[in-house]
Structure 1
Amino acid sequence: MTIPSRLTSSLAAVGVAALLAACAAPGPQAYPAQPAASTAGQMSGYGRVTNVEFVQGGQSSGLTGAVIGGAVGGLAGNQIGGGSGRTVATVAGVVGGALVGRHLEQNANRNTVNHYRVSVQFDNGGARSFDFAEPPNVQVGDRVRAEGNQLYR
């Protein structure tokens, strides 16, 4: 028994779509004060706050997901029918794939959390960022002390 090439191509397109959906990045993990970036040798000591910013989570336009979904949907739709029916199926695949891809990307980013990021420039020349779930009690220019993952004023 031979498998028609259209069926094989359709299955391949569905497989690619499933793999792309599995590539969704997870949101940030636990809070409060955690280093925003990996730090070699845990910077400790005294320094000054150089920046305090509010970082919004879940802000994704879904454009990348729409483009990838549209491409996969168009490939899958092109495998169906013949003549003008194939054209209609391709267009429907592009539109449907774009909508699904956009939705998947936005859902993948929905679990990220709004937080506050405090950047510190240490006296020894090092720099580090700390993330907080609640507004921190420091301002730009404040002298601070860092010990491990904690920031003290």
Structure 2
Amino acid sequence: MNKALKINSKHNIILLEGDSLVIPKSNSTVYVTGDLYNYEGTGISVPYFERKRANYYINNFAGGYARENNKNRTVVVYPNGSVKRSINYGLFSLSPRVTKGSTIKLMSEEQVEEMEATPLDWNVAIEKTLIKVTGVMSLYLLINRISGGF
């Protein structure tokens, strides 16, 4: 603060007419959602604590992990959109650190099931391919005629 108050300091920024000063709202909570033990699918907002990991919030605020849950399926979505999941080291798992405004998602086995492969319908695949090829060829011929290629 002292640097900003000095007259010739580079930290002393002078606002001119038409300048805008935007102060972002600080979100000092963490949202815990997913298949929670005590909350039947609803989420809860809890206060942020420095240097705590996702399992701290789940154990202390959400009633812990349900039987169907796997600690390795814990995901943290950060305010900037990046996502980290728990890392499994064999005998134990390490959940990601949490920052202010993060969302902790706890997924059950049912939510993580892989999608079943559907059989390929060759008629539909060939039809879609021919439609795309016809469109590209029509565009090529149109551009060629306009530019005097024929």
Normalising by structure 2, report the TM-score. Answer: 0.21
More helix by share: 1
Specify which structure has the bigger relative contact order, considering alpha-carbon pairs within 8 angstroms and separated by 6 or more residues.
1
